[in-house]
Amino acid sequence: MTTFEPGFLWGAATSSYQIEGAVAEDGRLPSIWDTFCATPGKVDNGDSGAVAADHYHRYPEDVAIMRELGLGAYRFSIAWPRVQPLGSGAANERGLDFYRRLVDTLLDNDIQPWPTLYHWDLPQPLEDAGGWPERDTALRFAEYAQIVHEALGDRVAHWTTLNEPWCSAFLGYATGRHAPGRQEPAASIRAAHHLLLGHGLAVQAMPDARVGITLNLSHVTAGSNADEDVDAARRIDGMQNRIFLDPLLLAEYPADVMRDLEPVTDFGFVQEDDLKTIAAPIDFLGVNYYSPMLVGHGTEARPSAYVGSEHVQHLDGGRARTSIGWEIDPHGLLDLLLRLDREYPDVPLYVTENGAAFDDEVHDAGRVAYLDGHVRACAEAISRGVALKGYFAWSLLDNFEWSFGYAQRFGLVHVDYDTQRRTPKDSARWYAGVIRRGGL
């Protein structure tokens, strides 16, 4: 049997726009995702988060499910457009009240609330003013963080500033595959910096809180030992991992990444002391891991999320894939955790997302196998000395999977979108057993 320490935190994760619905209730105004979904051709099947899993109204039932599973923590996100519908100015108390109710219900059920302040739903007026490429958005984010912390700080111990700034910056502003759908590679680098700056300013705005950030990191391997392929892997590692890890944990942008980006930007938007702000000590690093990356040099440049490295090709590693097309490789998670421990020691780690999309409904052997393999990788990492403190499965519920709409189901719990009926899948029962036994 593989066991974990009794204090190891077992949780599940969701995000506001993917589950809440109720997009026009209690004073909420549109975010960039409402706008993006309303733009023809952006989201599969024309889907949107307007209703989603109706969690806004059904949260008591959802917390009851969490309790049945035995979750120690629930990672959710707070919708900025509920709290500050215009992205600035006074707080909307009715929006905050929803999170007060949710947090209280979690605490009544002995489930630790793990809120994330930003899981991509930027208030539309801030995008209209230029969005994350503008420095002002970082200042607005810190103001919002302060409002939420003042409202919930007495009840919430662990805070996460951002979820996956890589997606916000590079899918939002380089490829345009995510909201706001802009295709402006140079602006996407400014967005990345201002997201990081917003994180650092938010840390300052929440004194005495335990604060972390969640990154989507990947283990990147070169397709061959040829210099060009090795260089491709260095570049993608730079733009996926180090462009965030180094400022946050080493107070600098990686020199090689800045060199790769020379044709795109001179980093003139980085002001004195920004890196000091960004590198304010954090209490934990959240790691979202789904799939490894195998890359090689390509001859043809194509528009890419990897700005400045558009000629790099993504290669097929020959492994089985989930229904969303992502290769399955628990070893990639182990390699990633070992690397973080080696190169960025001293910061406790949590896997804040890990999971799989499959078309199966309630009998989801594929998802059980995926989770089992990745939880084993976590155990192996811990046995090799990695300070991994917890694991959150993505996701508690089937939900709105961004540009894929409702077609991709990641939930431990099945949601029938016609009736909103919740049915725990085999993976939910499996996970409850892992939590009960404290291991596999």
Binding segment for ligand FCB among 311-319, 329-337, 358-366, 394-402 (CB under 6 A)?
394-402
Binder to ligand FCB among 163, 218, 221, 309 (CB under 6 A)? 163
Residue 272 Cβ, how far from ligand FCB at the closest point, in Å? 32
Q: Does 143 participate in catalysis according to the annotation?
A: no
Stretch that binds ligand FCB, among 4-12, 108-116, 159-167, 371-379 (CB under 6 A): 159-167
Q: Sort strands 158-163 and 73-77 into parallel, antiparallel or unpaired.
A: unpaired
Q: Which is nearer to ligand FCB, 14 or 92 (CB)?
A: 14
Centre a 10 Å sphere on the Cβ of residue 258 and count the other Cβ atoms it contains.
Answer: 18
Active site residue 300: no
> CA 240, 245, 250: angle at the middle one, nearest 5?
145
146, two tokens:
């302060």
Supply the minimum distance, in Å, between the C-beta of residue 89 and ligand FCB. Answer: 27
Query: Beta-strand (E) ranges in 61-197?
Result: 73-77, 112-118, 158-163
CB of 408 to ligand FCB, least distance (A): 8
Q: Are 261 and 188 in contact (CB under 8 A)?
A: no
144 is in an annotated binding site: no
Residue 124 annotated as binding site: no
Q: How far is the CB of 149 from ligand FCB (least distance, A)?
A: 22
Instruction: Please report which helix (H) or strand (E) contains residue 352, including its range.
Output: strand 349-353
Does 310 carry a binding-site annotation?
no
Helix, strand, coil in percent for the chain, rounding step 5: 45, 15, 40
C-beta of 4 vs 392, nearer to ligand FCB: 392
**Is residue 18 part of an annotated ligand binding site?**
yes
Taking the C-alpha atoms of residue 41 and residue 34, their distance in angstroms, rounded to an integer, is 14
Encoding tokens for residue 381? 């990492």
Structure tokens, 404:
């894929």
Whether omega before 395 lies within 30 degrees of 0, making that bond cis, reads: yes
- Please check if 163 is assigned to a binding site: yes
From 20, 127, 134, 164, the catalytic residue: 164
Q: Residue 216 contacts by C-beta under 8 Å, 6 or more apart in sequence?
A: 164, 166, 167, 240, 288, 289, 290, 353
Q: How far is the CB of 203 from ligand FCB (least distance, A)?
A: 20
Contact 52, 19 (CB under 8 A): yes
Per CB under 6 A, the list member of 8, 15, 48, 149 interacting with ligand FCB is 15
- Backbone dihedral region of 318: left (phi > 0), alpha (psi from -120 to 50 degrees) or beta? left
- Could you tell me the smallest distance in angstroms from the CB atom of residue 13 to ligand FCB? 8
C-alpha radius of gyration, the chain, whole number: 20
**290 marked as binding residue:** yes
Among 20, 62, 127, 164, binds ligand FCB (CB under 6 A): 164
Indicate which residue of 20, 127, 134, 353 is catalytic. Answer: 353
Q: Which of residues 275 and 285 has its CB atom nearest to ligand FCB in the complex?
A: 285
Annotated binding-site residue? 119 = yes
Contact region with ligand FCB (CB under 6 A), list: 84-92, 152-160, 162-170, 376-384: 162-170
**288 near ligand FCB, judged by CB under 6 A:** yes
Count of residues touching ligand FCB (by CB under 6 A) = 12
402 contacts ligand FCB (rule: CB under 6 A)? yes
- Among residues 187, 305, 319, the alpha carbon closest in space to that of 236 is found at 305
The rounded distance, in Å, linking the Cα atoms of 14 and 401 is: 11
Kindly state the helix (H) or strand (E) to which residue 434 belongs, with its residue range: helix 426-437
Pick 18 or 137: Cβ nearer ligand FCB: 18
Containing 98, the helix (H) or strand (E) segment is: helix 93-108
- The H or E element containing residue 313 is strand 312-314
Instruction: Between 123 and 165, name the residue whose CB sits nearer to ligand FCB.
Output: 165
The verdict on 410 binding ligand FCB (CB under 6 A) reads yes
Which residues define the annotated binding site for substrate?
18, 119, 163, 290, 394, 401-402
> Which spans of this chain sit near ligand FCB (rule: CB under 6 A)?
15, 18, 163-164, 167, 216, 288, 353, 394, 401-402, 410
Q: Catalytic positions, please? A: 164, 353
